[in-house]
Amino acid sequence: MPIRQLSQSLINKIAAGEVVERPASVVKELMENAIDSGASRVDVSVVKGGSDLVRVVDNGHGIAAEELPLAVASHATSKLAEADDLFRVGTLGFRGEALASIAEISRTVLRSRTHESPAGAELEVAGGQPGAVTPCGCPPGTLVEVHNLFYNTPVRRKFLRAVSTEFGHASEAFTRIALAAPHVHFTLRHNDRAVFDIPASEGQLERIGRFFGRELVDHLIYVESADGDIRLSGYAAHPSQSRSNNRMQYVFLNGRHIRDRALQHALGEAYRGLLTAGRYPIAFVRFEMPAELVDVNVHPTKLEVRFQDSGRLYSQLLSTLRGKFLTTDLDTPVRSPEPPAGAGQDDRAQRMRQELVDWAKGAVASWHRPEGAAGDATPGPTAAPASAAGGGPPLELTRIDRPPSPAGRDEEPLPSASPPNSQAAPAAEPAGRLTGLQVHNSYLVAETDEGVTIIDQHALHERILYEQLRSRIEAGPIETQQLLVPEPVDLSAPEAAAALENRELLEQLGLQIEPFGGDTVLISGYPAMLANLNPSEVLREVLDRILAGVRHPERHDLLDDLLHSIACKAAVKAGDRLTPDEVTELLRQRHLVGDAHHCPHGRPTALVFTREELDKQFRRT
């Protein structure tokens, strides 16, 4: 087949395939053009998810009548004058292909008037073929109507989803741009129904609340930092607020919403240990930097960009968030949600909250009631004595590397976990003896100046043990204990291959192995700090991580996962009865470790009921 020059119509259709994926793409491009025009108000209307109609009206500068044909011509723009302008782009759009691509695959009406003109002008384009420019009456600004998207490319049109799905994408495109431009008044209508009406001049926090509700706003933490000429600001959500996907991670660069995997990874690292597996943080982060430090011309829709120094931004975001978290109370407060209209008060969530309040009530009553005195009615739950029949021997809070003493021998207290390089500065130990009550052999209820705290004994002890292990490792190389008799471990074929391939990495973790034939390996050396745990189990834990899909796992990640697992297995469990001294010691340790508000796997260790919340629950307010 001979080489042929493509027609301009086909070129535009190819460009449309890159720029216009669905109606939401049209919403994005037209809204960005409106903001670039200096508009202070942008009204968006869509019909049937945008497949029938997308209309965007703005009060910006407008387009002169003689320039309307150029507005829908391919690669015609007022935003670039020379090649170097590509490396200092200060507008959202600049490539000059969006309107031409949209007009090629729809029936488009363009109506505009500059503020200096006495009248407006109108241009209709059908399938890329423009008609004549005609005068019309219209206010200053621009109106663009896109009818019957993909009408002349039926193959593309049949890939559109249900109306609700397409409108969901269009609404998300609207949300991203409205979040990035709080100085602009935005409205959105679908099928003549008002969806959003968002006034201008609101702060970023108020605008977030317009889209995602007051409850989320109440859980946002403000962050900011500056690194030379790069400024970071925005909000990160309390770990109690998370999602099962990363769609609520909004990153903006110089007013443009972007998607960047490295920055999303930095967000995940900042929340490491604060969220459970499979949960993603919520964040609204804005970067401001000189335009020459970033190339926005690497993606047709400008969604992805290329930074001159992406590592610098990664470090800034990670350190800013972690630094803020270290100085912020991340305990999980318990709040009473406002019940929806008509909702009953006996739903499951309400009953669960009331149970916790009842625990707190019983705990407080027990502290202030003389021994043997009767309560007002049914007393609150109390812990059974450690020597009660059927309870088994009391647990001893011992270090992982030292076996428990024989029954009846005194134990030295659990050593304080205050690592020299701890990520979080431990809180000062409160004055006086700490008192608490064990409930259902799983939770500890403690009185505080603010109210009542209910603690998950397993989650808290897990965090304490994890911090002890981590501080030991940070203090120097992992000490390896040579086994007198190497221990053979039978592995599966994939496990054996992974073990021998990663012998050097395993040795850095204190595990020394040797091949023994077939799928069996010998463990000849073992981390001394894990003397209480089964060597084969620890080896399998590491190999599970290696085989979990990470081709070249980092030592830090493997070690962190291993410490999580070890701390979880060694910590007291739900259902384990603690002696009063053990309860006191566990509460004391809570004030001596960093990140005590969450276990290493991200679950909260405590729920905090303030005095105000208790008064509200008991209808004292």
Q: What is the DSSP string of 488-532?
A: EEE--HHHHHHHHHTHHHHHHTT-EEEE-STTEEEEEEEEGGGTT
Do 137 and 121 contact (CB within 8 A), yes or no?
no
> What is the structure's pLDDT at 21?
87
Q: Using CA atoms, how far apart are residues 516 and 238, in angstroms rounded to an integer?
A: 50
Q: What is the CATH number of the domain that holds 229?
A: 3.30.230.10
Residue 605 belongs to domain with CATH number: 3.30.1540.20
Residue type, 273: G
Give the pLDDT of residue 45.
Answer: 97
10-residue mean pLDDT profile of the chain (621 residues): values are 73 66 93 92 96 96 92 69 54 67 92 95 93 94 95 86 91 94 95 93 86 90 94 94 90 90 91 85 94 72 76 93 87 60 42 49 43 37 33 40 37 37 44 70 88 90 86 78 90 86 84 90 86 82 72 67 77 88 88 84 87 85 71
Is the residue at 397 inside a domain?
yes
Q: Point out the domain boundary residue: 200, 230, 257.
A: 200
Together in a domain, 369 and 442: yes
Strands 53-58 and 41-47: antiparallel
Q: At what angle do helices 580-590 and 457-474 cross, to 10 degrees?
A: 50
Cα dihedral sign for 513, 515, 517, 518?
positive
- The CA distance from 171 to 163, in Å, is 12
Residue 1 placed within a domain: no
Cα–Cα distances (Å) from 507 to 35, 526, 543, 544, 562, in that order, read 57, 9, 13, 16, 14
Q: Are the CB atoms for 6 and 151 separated by under 8 Å?
A: no
Residue 336 lies in a domain: no
If asked whether residues 55 and 156 sit together in one domain, one would say: yes
Of 417, 428, 553, 525, which is closest to residue 474 (Cα–Cα)? 417
306 shares its domain with 373: no
Q: Are 537 and 573 in contact (CB under 8 A)?
A: no
DSSP reduced 3-state for 301:
coil
Q: Are residues 593 and 537 in the same domain?
A: no
- Domain with residue 96: its CATH number is 3.30.565.10
Sole residue written with tokens 């407006």: 120
Domain match, 295 and 373 both = no
Q: How many domains does the chain have?
A: 4
43 within some domain: yes
- Alpha carbons 523 and 271: distance in angstroms, whole number: 35
Q: Is residue 221 situated within a structural domain?
A: yes
Are 545 and 432 found together in one domain?
no
117 located within any domain: yes
Q: Residue 153 corresponds to which tokens in the numbers above?
A: 């490319």
Same domain, 444 and 525: no
254 and 395 part of one domain: no
Same domain, 304 and 215: yes
CATH number at residue 563: 3.30.1370.100
Residue 335 maps to a domain = no
Domain check: are 427 and 356 in the same one?
yes
Whether residues 494 and 434 share a domain: the answer is no
> Tokens standing for 157?
């049109």
* Residue pair 155/91 in contact by the 8 Å Cβ criterion: no
The string of DSSP codes covering 446-481 is: EE-SSEEEEEEHHHHHHHHHHHHHHHHHHTSSPPEE
pLDDT given for residue 250 in this prediction: 96
Question: Is residue 342 in a domain?
Answer: no
Q: Which of 328, 363, 389 is the last residue of a domain?
A: 328
Of 538, 554, 570, the residue that ends a domain is: 570
| Mean pLDDT, the chain, whole residue set | 79
Domain housing 277 = 205-328
The Cα–Cα gap between 170 and 190 comes to 10
Q: Indicate if 461 and 355 belong to the same structural domain.
A: yes
Phi, psi of 388 (to 5 degrees): -60, 145
For the segment 466-489, what is each residue's pLDDT rounded down to a tens digit?
A: 888 788 777 777 788 898 899 999
